[in-house]
Each structure stands twice: as structure tokens, then as C-alpha cells.
A and B are shown apart, each in its own frame.
Chain A
Amino acid sequence: QRGWLHSGPLLWLQYVDKNVKLKVGKHEEHRGWLLTVDPVSASVVLVNFREDGASVRVVMGHAVEDVEVLQESDPETAERLRLFLLPPTTSSLDP
């Protein structure tokens, strides 16, 4: 099995918008919705939604041991993740 660092963008893309469990080092584990993987550093961005916002964890690519999909993406969460990235300056021009 190839390491996470060398998995490549096509494989990384398959995890986007899915709920994953990330193994970090020997003893750490993190869960969340996978926002993206930086194709340069292989770092993983996980989002956990809360009532008043969200907490974000970025795990550096060199520390990622294993990624496991817990839940497939659903349209509602995918949209929430997409909105999460939009700049807050754009507002609707509807009257």
C-alpha cells in the first residue's frame, strides 16, 4: 500500500466531502468531514459542525498514517462544506 503522501490527487479527491477517521501517528485519531487535501503537502482539512459554527483541524500530510471513510457524502453536507469556503463579502443583490 502506498503511503498517504504519495497517494496522488485523484485518490485524495475521492475522500472529499466524506466523513472520515484519520489515524495520526500511533496513538491519535481524528474524525470529521473532509474539506480538502492540499495537493502540495498532502495535509488534510477536517471540519466538525457545531450549533454556533464549526471547528476545523488541519493534519499535516507527513503525520497522516491512515484514512478511513466512515460515512459517504450527502448533498446537504457537501453544500454546507462548499458554503464554508465562500468569501463572506458577496451578498445577494435581490431587492
Chain B
Amino acid sequence: SISTSAAEADAKELQREQRARSALRERFLRCLLTMTNKKVQFHMHEKVDVEATFGASDIDVLNFQVSDLHTPIGVQKEALIRCQDVISFTFDM
């Protein structure tokens, strides 16, 4: 019937989407792994740039854990950076 073939098409589409999602996510996680212990420059709103040593990200990419965060008012030994406050960040390989 039409409804079963539509359901099958939906399942196929979902499978394709999940495969794409996992390929993209694996690459991103490997990228985060590469960043561990590297010096990273964070570019925030209002043209604020800060440098820190990258530690980890939570799974939802809401916060980054960093060390030696260089801020205009001093160096913070350990810190969490809210990803909402970040526009982009850069590092060298």
C-alpha cells in the first residue's frame, strides 16, 4: 500500500541521514582530539581575542574546558568557556 512504501522511504531517508551524521561527527571528534593540549585562539564577540590551552568539550558543544586562559585582566589557570560567547577559534597543526 501507499502508506507502507512511504514508511519505507522514510526509513531509508532516516538511515541515509544517520550515516551522514555519524561520518560528520566522527571527523569533528577527531578534530577535537587533535586540539587537546594545543594553544588555541578564541575569537569572541566585540572583537575580544583570548588564548588558552585546549582541554575538552562537552558532548553538546556548550562549553570548552581550557587551561592558562590569557584574559585582559590576567591569566586564569583553569576555565570553562561558554560556546555561545565564541564566534570562532583557530589553531595551528
Chain A residues in the interface with B (C-beta under 8 A) = 8-10, 12-13, 16, 24-25, 28, 30, 35-41, 43, 45, 53-60, 62-63, 84-85, 87
Interfacial residues, chain B to chain A (CB-CB below 8 A): 16-18, 20-21, 23-25, 27-28, 30-31, 33-34, 59-61, 83-84, 86-93
Complex CA distance for A8 and B17, rounded to whole angstroms: 8
Tell me the smallest distance from the CB of A56 to a CB of chain B, in Å: 6
Main secondary structure on chain B at its contact with chain A?
helix
Are A59 and B17 CB-contacts (below 8 A) given A13-B24, A84-B93? no
Q: Are A35 and B27 in contact (CB-based, < 8 A)?
A: yes
Which residues from B are CB-within-8-Å of A39? Answer: 20-21, 24-25, 28
Cross-chain contact A28 with B25 (CB below 8 angstroms)? no
Complex CA gap A58/B28 in Å reads 10
Sample 21 A-B pairs with CB under 8 A, ordered by A number: A10-B17, A13-B20, A13-B23, A36-B31, A38-B24, A38-B25, A39-B20, A39-B24, A40-B59, A40-B61, A41-B61, A54-B92, A54-B93, A55-B91, A55-B93, A56-B92, A58-B31, A58-B88, A60-B87, A60-B88, A87-B33
Contacts of A13 in B (CB 8 A): 20, 23-24
